């Protein structure tokens, strides 16, 4: 399976969400519906593609990069329905 560079794929999208439209303080049903529509229409990173590397702070201090987990089973879960 060919792995696509997510950064290149993002750069070629014809429709991009503005950060202020997607980064929200409270989750709303409309956000879930928008994500569902994007999933159904195959927008975003596809199964088998590499996710863009990013870094997040750890609770006990320090940080963790997604690339540090390469080769290990990893589940990314962002968001909440509450």
pLDDT band at 4 (very low <50, low <70, confident <90, very high): low
Q: What HEC string does 16-75 produce?
A: CCCHHHHCCCCCCHHHHHHHHHHHHCCCCCCCCCECCCCEEECCCCCEEEHHHHCCCCCC
pTM, two decimals, is 0.45
Convert the pLDDT of each residue in 36-79 to its tens digit: 888 888 777 777 788 888 888 888 889 999 999 988 988 877 66
Domain ranges of the chain: 14-46+62-82
């Amino acid at each position: 399976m060919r792995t696509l560079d997510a950064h290149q794929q993002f750069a070629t999208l014809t429709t991009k969400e503005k950060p202020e439209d997607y980064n929200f303080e409270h989750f709303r049903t409309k956000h879930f519906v928008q994500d569902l529509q994007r999933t159904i229409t195959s927008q975003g990173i596809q199964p088998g593609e590499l996710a863009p590397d990013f870094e997040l702070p750890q609770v006990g201090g320090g940080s963790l990069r997604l690339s540090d987990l390469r080769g290990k089973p990893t589940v990314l879960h962002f968001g909440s329905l509450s």
